[in-house]
Every structure is written in structure tokens, then in C-alpha cells.
Amino acid sequence: MVLKAAWGLLIILSVSSSWVGTTQIVKITYKNFYCPFFMTWFSTNWNIMFFPVYYSGHLATAQEKQSPMKKFRECSRIFGEDGLTLKLFLKRTAPFSILWTLTNYLYLLALKKLTATDVSALFCCNKAFVFLLSWIVLKDRFMGVRIVAAIMAITGIVMMAYADNFHADSIIGVAFAVGSASTSALYKVLFKMFLGSANFGEAAHFVSTLGFFNLIFISFTPVILYFTKVEHWSSFAALPWGCLCGMAGLWLAFNILVNVGVVLTYPILISIGTVLSVPGNAAVDLLKQEVIFNVVRLAATIIICIGFLLMLLPEEWDEITLRFINSLKEKKSEEHVDDITDSSVHLRSRSRANGTVSIPLA
């Protein structure tokens, strides 16, 4: 437990730092280069490296090492007993690839309209959307506290739009951020519905497959946007390759850390690392003097973060809380009995010393 907690602390810091770094690099890139779909496509291609990174870790840590092809086939079971076939590649990968692209693209669009703090806070609403979709689609257990958390998330969204007096750019930015959170939630719910749970190797295989699908089938989109002048640049040499590679590398690191963290530590700590990106981005924005926190914006951010944390409560949280309170009461009553016993023994010893015996009323 101590080792898992230590790993958890390290994972929390790494997850929040990678997400803050990704968001801030996007904001820096926008100063001279604004091609959000190209940036999304470019960073998604880096997902191809997920499985090679996983296999390198397997070679470094496993006692019984497997060949790359054998390990690949083993991890392909996430697609079914027959492994990865062309039909399953198109059928299972296409919808998830589209949702993945939409999530990241809408997130980047929101960063153009809003500050990094606002976007990261609004993206935390995806936990509330996951619960609502799971409750409706997967028939998960109804939890009143999570309904409260969902209401808090919606309240925070409205307050975030109100923070700029419902300015047009602010409303559009909020819509983009909420759309990103919604597609992210839909991705997670559909993954659980069709693919179930996945171990680290299967997750690495699936994310790398998304990268291949993006490279093969989505590449025509940035080409069309380039020739239609929607997302155009003068030359490839003029592209900010440093920022693009930094963004894609941190995005890949974030995805790897999330999956590694589930294996090495407690999943709840990964979620805490994600919500810590909000104060992390706020600190950077304040240092860069890009945001002024008024009362409404600060309250909206806090409400969304509290709602996110409420979503992390386990399903049996009420029973656990009652058991904890009862154990505290029992411990307190035992300590009270011990105090009475000690005082009784002390009183009897004094009485015997004086030649009398007295029995305390208690």
C-alpha cells in the first residue's frame, strides 16, 4: 500500500504536469500558428508509439519475455477472440477514432476562445456526463450524490459563460469545451459497452490502432483544409515543429501515464491528477497575466472541481461512511469505559490507603 501510494503521488504530479504542459504549449503555438485540426491530427499520429513504449517496458520488467508478434496477438484480444481483423479494425476503430479526434479538436478550438484555466475546468465536466450516460445507457446504479455533482457541473458551465457577461466568444468557447467533455464521455461509455475493461497491454494496442487509423483514413482532412485555405501555412519549414512535437509528446505522455497509473496505483488518484490541472493552469495563467479571476469565474471553477471530486465517491460511499462513523462511536465509548475503569481503580486504591472502601456511582 505504501508503494502504491508513493507511485500514486508521482503519477498525480506527472498526470497534472503533462496536461498543464500540453494546454499551455497549445496556447503558445496559437500566437503564430492556428491550425487546430492539423495539430489534432499530428498529435493523434503519435499514438502509434504507445504499443512500442509498452513493449519496451515489457522487455525491461517481464521475467518471461515474449516476441513482439506474440505480444501483439495477445493484446489483440480486446477486439475479440479472433484478434484484430480488417473488418473489426474498421468496425471498432472508426467510431472511437472519430470521437477521439472530435474530443481533441473541440478542446483546441475552446483554447482559442477561453483561457487554459476555464477550458481545463469545463473539461472536468466529462465525469458528470459519463455518469449520466452510464445511468441512461448502461443502466448503472443511481446515486443521488452524483446527480448533485452533475447539477453542480451544469451550474458551473452556466456561471462560466456568465463570467464574461455572455460575450459571444465566451459562449462559443464554453460550447466547444462542453462539446469536448461530452464526446470524451461518450467515448468512455461506448468503450465500456462494446469492449469492456482492458488491461495495460490491450489499452496500448487499442490506442496505437487509433493512431494507425488516424494516419491512414483521417489524413485527407488536413490536406483538404490546406488546399481550401481553411488551415493554411506558407511552407513546412515555417511550421513551429518544436511546439508541435512538444504538444504531441506531452499528450502521448499523458495517455501513457493515465494507463500506467491504473496498473501501478489507485484509479482515483489519476482522476485527482486530472482535476489538479485546473489550479496548475490557473497558476500559469496568473504568472502570464492572461486571466483575471472575478468572483463568478472563481466560484464556477470551484463548483465544477467539487462536482468532479463528488463523482469519485465509490458506489457504496454511504455504507462506508456509516461504518466509519459507527467505528468512531464505538472507539469513543470504549475509551470512555477505560477512563471510568481507570478512575475507579484510582479511587479504590486511595480509599484502601485511608482505611475505607467506596464504590463510585458510575
Check if the beta carbon of residue 101 is closer than 8 Å to that of residue 215: no
| DSSP, res 47 | G
Rounded Cα gap, residues 311 and 6, in angstroms: 23
Other Cβ atoms within 10 Å of 232 Cβ, number: 11
* DSSP reduced 3-state for 66: coil
Q: What would the DSSP string read from start to end of 175-190?
A: HHHHHHHHHHHHHHHH
**What nine digits make up the cell of 136?**
441512461
* Closest residue by Cα to residue 123 from 168, 167, 158, 153: 153
DSSP label at residue 140? P
pLDDT per residue of the chain (362 residues) written in tens, 0 to 9: 777 777 878 888 898 999 999 999 999 999 989 999 999 999 999 999 999 999 998 888 878 888 888 888 888 888 877 777 788 888 889 999 999 999 999 999 999 988 898 898 889 888 888 888 887 777 777 677 777 877 888 888 878 777 766 666 788 988 999 999 999 999 988 888 887 777 888 889 999 999 999 999 999 999 999 999 999 888 888 899 999 999 999 999 998 888 877 766 777 777 888 888 888 888 888 888 766 667 887 888 888 888 887 777 766 655 666 676 777 777 766 665 555 655 555 545 444 444 443 333 33
| Cα separation, 270 vs 8, whole angstroms | 8
* b/e map 263-283, b = 16+ CB within 10 Å: ebbbeebbbbbbbbbbbbbbe
Closest by CA to 115, choosing from 283, 332, 317, 338, is 283
| pTM reported for the whole predicted model | 0.83
